[in-house]
Amino acid sequence: MADAPLLGRLFVFRGTLPRGVRFGAGAATAAAAVGLWAAAPALGWIAPVFLPSPWAVLRALWTMTTQNGLLGDAGISIARVWGAFLLAAILAVPIGILMSSYRIIGAALEPLIDFIRYLPVPALVPLSIIWFGIGEETKIFLLWLGTFFQLVLLVAEDMKRVPHEYFETAYTLGAKPFQALTSVALRAMAPSLMDNLRITLGWCWTYLIIAEIVAASNGLGFVIWTARRYMATDQVMAGVLVIGLIGLVSDQLLRALHRAMFRYL
């Protein structure tokens, strides 16, 4: 393999890549995307009012950060997203495990969960306001709604993938059902559960704009929605850029935690 052409070594089915190569590939793709973005308004492909240049967005980002309190809005949005996500995870993990562990619970809950998870969250905004008013409860509820029902089914699938032989071995060694759950099932499903939590955290961020247009006076969603009214596209894209950067950092931190916790994978 060492004597194979470089291109052949890079395109090995399910092969491994050195960390430097992975970083370089990602950096090259990001640079190409930024270059295409800069070229589009500069060459007249798209009017700057619809797609401002990267430099205009960075200037807007600097102004919003130094003069308009963007960091405070970012902190508020982070608190809302993580609050809703943790609430969803605390409820979804045990419910998903029970649905997969006891057929009767799965049969009772899965049709309802399947129905609700297909409902578009924006369509439920009026009901959310009627139920919870226009305070923080509505924003947290909308973020939770976009995460909880998806996560329940992912957790149930994680539990279902634990081989039955693991339980049989545990029972043979004298384990009780609760011991088999905590010492066998949870440890076996932990890597995939961690991945699903990371993915659903990303989903939670995608509902931020919807949650923060409900009578909000702060948060990144509010900033973006307000800038939209005045066709301040550079500010809109600056807000979107901040959300993307926060999501990227969160995702990489959770990936690093996953690698640290499950070094055997």
pLDDT tens digits, 148-168:
999 999 999 999 998 888 888
- pLDDT averaged over the chain? 88
What is the model's pLDDT at position 169?
Answer: 87
Residue 11 lies inside a defined structural domain of this protein = no
Phi first, then psi: what are they for 13, rounded to 5°?
-60, 120
**pLDDT for 264 beyond 80:** no
For residues 162 and 164, what is the distance between their CA atoms, to the nearest angstrom? 6
Measured at the CA of 265, the angle between CA 263 and CA 251, to 5 degrees, comes to: 75
Residue 42 lies inside a defined structural domain of this protein = no
For 98, the token pair is 């029970």
What is the model's pLDDT at position 5?
Answer: 63
Q: What is the dihedral of CA 199, 240, 216, 137, to 10 degrees?
A: 0
**pLDDT category of residue 179 using cuts at 50, 70 and 90:** confident
Least Cα distance to 142 among 130, 125, 155, 159 occurs for 125
For residues 241 and 54, what is the distance between their CA atoms, to the nearest angstrom? 10
What is the model's pLDDT at position 33?
Answer: 92
Mean pLDDT of the 239-259 span: 91
Domain span including residue 149: 54-261
**pLDDT for 125 beyond 70:** yes
Residue 37 lies inside a defined structural domain of this protein = no
What is the model's pLDDT at position 172?
Answer: 86
Residue 22 lies inside a defined structural domain of this protein = no
Residue 27 lies inside a defined structural domain of this protein = no
What is the model's pLDDT at position 4?
Answer: 53
What are the pLDDT digits (tens) for 98-113?
999 888 999 999 999 9
Least Cα distance to 237 among 67, 65, 54, 69 occurs for 54
Q: Enter the pTM of the model.
A: 0.85
User: What is the CATH number for 240?
Assistant: 1.10.3720.10
Q: How many domains does the chain have?
A: 1
Residue 163 lies inside a defined structural domain of this protein = yes
